[in-house]
Structure formats: structure tokens, C-alpha cells
Amino acid sequence: MKVPICTFDAKTGVLCPKCESRLKNGELSDVDVECSIKLIKLSHKNQDLDKLNLIGSQKIDEDYVLILKDSNVSHINSNDKLVSSVEEEFKGKVWFVEANSSVRRFLENLFFPIRILKTNMIWLPDGNQVTQVTIESKDYEKFISIIEKIKRIVNAVRKIELVVEIAGK
């Protein structure tokens, strides 16, 4: 598994001078270091994690967002055992996102298992652009807090302003 710090540093929990200076100059964050250590620890007993390449991470409230390069996140999300072992180690909700996927795919992974019916780009009168997603109406009430969280993640990771519409409402 690849992480933003040296694998050796992640194993020992101590940063080498090079990673230490990257942390100081802001190239790395404390959350990156924390996530690297936790994931390397898990990757020893989990082959599915071993293939991943973590390039960044964010902490939003108590949730962790892991940004992966060249990964099939839907494959990870559908592996309940993997997700729960990661969340157990992180002691909180963990979101896996793809660094280089299309906006549509990025959103689909975050909204899973809520189905996205369509996405639109909308230009506001002030010149700003928002992305509108239309989701299935079924059971959406129980997802309201998750939807609010997704909006913040999308904004933090991709700088996208998200508007969520419920189909048929």
C-alpha cells in the first residue's frame, strides 16, 4: 500500500526528516500522517487494502475522507468487511473517494447506496457554478444528514458547490 509518508515512517509512527519537513511546510497534514499510520497497520492483515494508493486525506467533523489514486472505490464500498475493519481502526465513519474520477462517478461513490438519477451544471446569476444532483426519492428522509455531509466533502475535496434535488418533489 502507498501512503503520503514513507512506509517505514508509517510502520514506526515516527517521521523521517524529509516527511517531517513536508509536514512543517504544509505539503502533508496531521490527518495525512494519522491516516497513513492506521492504514499501513491494517494493510498487513488485509490484502484488499494493500493495493491502494492513498494520496491525501481530510477530516470533516469526526469523519475521515481518504483520497485514493487509481482505485475502484465502488469495489471497496461494496466490501462490507473491509469498510467495517477500516472504520473500526479509525473509530469513525470513513469515506473513500477517487482522486481522478469524473465528477459523476465521484458523486455516485459518495451517494452510494443512494442512486443518482442525473447531474447538471448550473450557472447562477452571480457567475458561480453549482452542480445539481437528482436522487431517488425513496427513503431520502433517513439520508438527510448524510446528504449534508456529502455536500461538505464534495466542497472540501473537489471545490464543488452541490445542490441536491429529490426526484418527484
Using the minimum distance from each CB to Zn ion, give the nearer residue, 9 or 32. Answer: 9
Site residue total, Zn ion (CB under 5 A):
4
Using the minimum distance from each CB to Zn ion, give the nearer residue, 20 or 87. Answer: 20
Task: Give the one residue of 16, 117, 121, 130 binding Zn ion; rule: CB under 5 A.
Answer: 16
Q: Does 146 bind Zn ion (CB under 5 A)?
A: no
Q: Does 37 bind Zn ion (CB under 5 A)?
A: no
Helix (H, G, I), strand (E, B) or coil at 62: coil
Q: Identify which range of 1-9, 34-42, 134-142, 159-167 contacts Zn ion by CB under 5 A.
A: 1-9
Q: Identify which range of 11-19, 23-31, 45-53, 57-65 contacts Zn ion by CB under 5 A.
A: 11-19
User: H-type helices in the chain, by residue range?
Assistant: 7-12, 17-24, 30-43, 47-50, 73-77, 80-90, 103-111, 144-158
Cβ proximity of 83 and 76 under 8 Å: yes
The minimum distance between CB 35 and Zn ion, in angstroms, equals 15
Q: Does 19 bind Zn ion (CB under 5 A)?
A: yes
User: What gap in Å lies between CA 162 and CA 155, rounded to an integer?
Assistant: 8
Q: How many Cβ atoms are within 10 Å of 112's Cβ, its own excluded?
A: 13
User: What gap in Å lies between CA 31 and CA 16, rounded to an integer?
Assistant: 17
Name the residues that contact Zn ion, by CB under 5 A.
6, 9, 16, 19
